[in-house]
Structure 1
Amino acid sequence: MNQELPIRFCEPEQVAPDTWVVRQLAGEGLGPVATYVNSSVITGAEPVIVDCGPAITRDEWLETTFSIVDPADVRWIYLSHDDVDHTGNLMQVLDACPDATLVTTAFMMERMSADYGLSLPLHRMRWVNDGERIDAGDRELVAVTPPSYDSPTTRGLFDTKSGVYWASDSMGSPVPHEVSNISDLDPGFWREGFLGQQLLLSPWLTWADSTRYDRAVDRVLDLGANVVTSAHGPALRGWQIESACRLLRELPFLPPAKLPGQVELDAIVAMLVEAEGAAAGAGTDPGQVAA
């Protein structure tokens, strides 16, 4: 992997007997917090790759993912939405997994066509909208839109056998360092980070009708998930899921998130310049210091 990239792989986390989260941690050293960039693998009777990671770590992402599942065995590639950190290795996965069906939507395909054009294999697609199901042999997989999102194509994925709900970009939180359980975080830090990340993800929530929004949160709670995984946070289990849903209900009543501005950008640039200077003085690769 390119050592100049401020992103590294963590050990994949097994969150259920047949479900893994492929974890990367981005932004370490560039600020007070870092962000997970996750995807998932379900190793059932008909194995599923859930989202395809970012292109900048392609080689290691492919190596890690295919250390969990043989690409020849993969039967489903599920895209939760079309953001680049979820589709960065899509074409490589399609090439490596010739027997896999790409689960997407018409709108998602339309948006991705700007990058992929006619390369998207219509004959290998299945369009699955919110609420619809996939029979994956030993389980049903249900498309369920999460309570917060930044892409109109978003729908999460609930596995009826394992009880794991992939919430896509929703229900994640920044972390100060690599953690696998939010119980390892200060409760105040987690609350602030969770709410802030949801508001950044979904600024429209400040306009939402709270009663209608509660029904969207109830829908996730009613899944009865054992574990909630996400693209940008540690997995949630048991009481943590209920706690996260209580916080979600606060979002329509909160002011918009304060976005970083020029002051924050200047601080990041100054830190990188300082790191490059330190690396040059020590005779090391400045990219390794920044990473």
Structure 2
Amino acid sequence: MNREIVPGINWIYEAGPDRTAKFELAERQPDWYEPGREAYIPQCAYLVEGDDETLLFDTLSPASTDQILETVDDLVGDRGLDYLVVSHPDVPHAGNTHAILEEYPDATLVAPAYGNDHELYHLDDARKVADGDSIDLGGRVVEFHEATFLDAPVSIWMTERETETLFPVDWMGFPHLDEEALLFVDELDGEFDVSRLVEFHGRVLFWYQYVDVAKTTAEIDTLVETFDPEIIAPAHGLVIRENAPEYMELMKDVTRAIDEQGRIGTLG
């Protein structure tokens, strides 16, 4: 499944884990959840096409190998794939790396320069990128950034300059209902419920339970000022194409909500 976000940037979607049972059995179901509906935390990859070259950011999981290969082939056609960027070595992000490189042997594998365990993940021969590095695809330039909120030391974020799209990988993920797959956030019914973000960051990114609220809030202010994106394309959520900085601001509420709910294993 895929959808064009803007001309030249396509969103490739995998449903990811089915979370229905969790919400059905909860003592108190979240306001955004509708009983009887399936709920998922998606896994997303993004294809960026320039005038000269093409780039795939992340790979989906091995459960979707055929899907990612067919979708990329449909999108790039005879142009082929020039770059495969792995944001970090985790199954939903890098699980199809070898399959994609077998299909496109001339593609350049791109990996984060951060961390020192690249050889453990077959990334030692990849082109390493760090904060401020960029790739010109012809008419589109992608730039790489040190990941602020991450779940692996070998990790990178990305932006696309022309459209001011931010790809924050695991940060800003959230679950969605079955019929909401591949909808933009502005197409959802009703007001966006911040508890969706709390659900993902408080449980899937479990380390979020231990962050310093004041420091995290200040860092979010810095991110908003630094990126001020028009579009946010997360790895585990729906694409945000309107009022993107306001959704980044919501992450302050997420941090406070997780802190108020109690942080297991912490003192004070």
Unaligned runs of 5+ in 2: 24-38, 264-268
CA RMSD of aligned residues (A): 2.7
User: Which of these residues, 4, 12, 16, is aligned with residue 14 of structure 1?
Assistant: 4
AA at the equivalent of 1:48: L
Q: CA deviation at 1:246?
A: 1.6
Q: Does 1:81 align with 2:84?
A: no
Q: Which residue of 2 aligns with 1:131?
A: 132
CA distance, structure 1, for counterparts of residue 14 and residue 216 of structure 2: 34
The residue identity in structure 2 corresponding to 1:155 is I
**Structure 2 CA distance for partners of 1:219 and 1:23, relative to 1, 3 Å:** same
- Preserved contact between residue 150 and residue 202 of structure 1 (Cα < 8 Å): no
Task: Kindly indicate whether residue 227 of structure 2 is the aligned counterpart of residue 223 of structure 1.
Answer: yes
- In the alignment, what sits opposite 2:28? none
Distance in structure 2 (CA, Å) of the matches to 1:175 and 1:59:
24
Cα drift, residue 185 of structure 1: 4.1
What is the number of residues matched between the two proteins? 241
In 1, Cα distance between equivalents of 2:101 and 2:242: 35
Preserved contact between residue 71 and residue 97 of structure 1 (Cα < 8 Å): no
1:140–1:54 Cα change, 3 Å: same
Structure (1/2) with the larger helix percentage: 1
Match of 1:46 in 2: 53
Distance 2:225 2:115 in 1: 26
Which segment is superposed worse, 46-55 or 194-203? 194-203
Pair 206,244 (structure 1): closer, same or farther in 2 beyond 3 Å: farther
Matched letter for residue 208 of structure 1: D
Which stretch shifts more, 54-63 or 135-144? 135-144
- Aligned residues: percent identity? 20
User: CA offsets per residue over residues 74-126 of structure 1, 9 Å max, x none?
Assistant: 22111111111111110121122232211113556725x4454xxx571xx21
1:250 equivalent in structure 2 = 253
The alpha-carbon distance between structure 1 residues 153 and 243, as it changes in their structure 2 partners (threshold 3 A), is same
CA distance in 1, matches of 2:254, 2:19: 29
CA displacement 1:193-220 (0-9 Å, x = unmatched) = 1122123315246432524642344324
Sort the Cα spacing of 1:152 and 1:186 in 2 relative to 1 into closer, same or farther, 3 A: farther
Instruction: Tell me which amino acid in the other structure corresponds to 2:73.
Output: F
Structure exhibiting the larger radius of gyration computed from Cα positions: 1
**Does structure 1 retain, via aligned residues, the 8 Å contact 2:86–2:111?**
yes
- 2:171 maps to a residue whose letter is S
Task: Determine the structure 2 residue equivalent to 1:237.
Answer: 241
* Structure 2 equivalent of residue 275 of structure 1: none
- Distance in 2, matches of 1:68 and 1:151, equals 30
Using a 3 Å threshold, how does the CA distance of structure 1 residues 29 and 134 change in structure 2: closer, same or farther? Answer: closer
In the superposition, the TM-score normalised over structure 2's length comes to 0.78
Q: Tell me if structure 2 keeps the 8 A contact 1:76–1:100.
A: yes
Q: Please tell me whether the aligned partners of residues 82 and 153 of structure 1 are also in contact (alpha carbons under 8 angstroms).
A: yes
Q: Which amino acid aligns with 1:56?
A: A
Mapping for residues 164-243 of structure 1, pairs under 5 Å: 164-179=165-180, 180-183=183-186, 184-187=188-191, 190-200=193-203, 201=205, 203-204=207-208, 206-208=210-212, 210-211=214-215, 213-239=217-243, 241-243=244-246
Tell me the equivalent position of 1:279. none
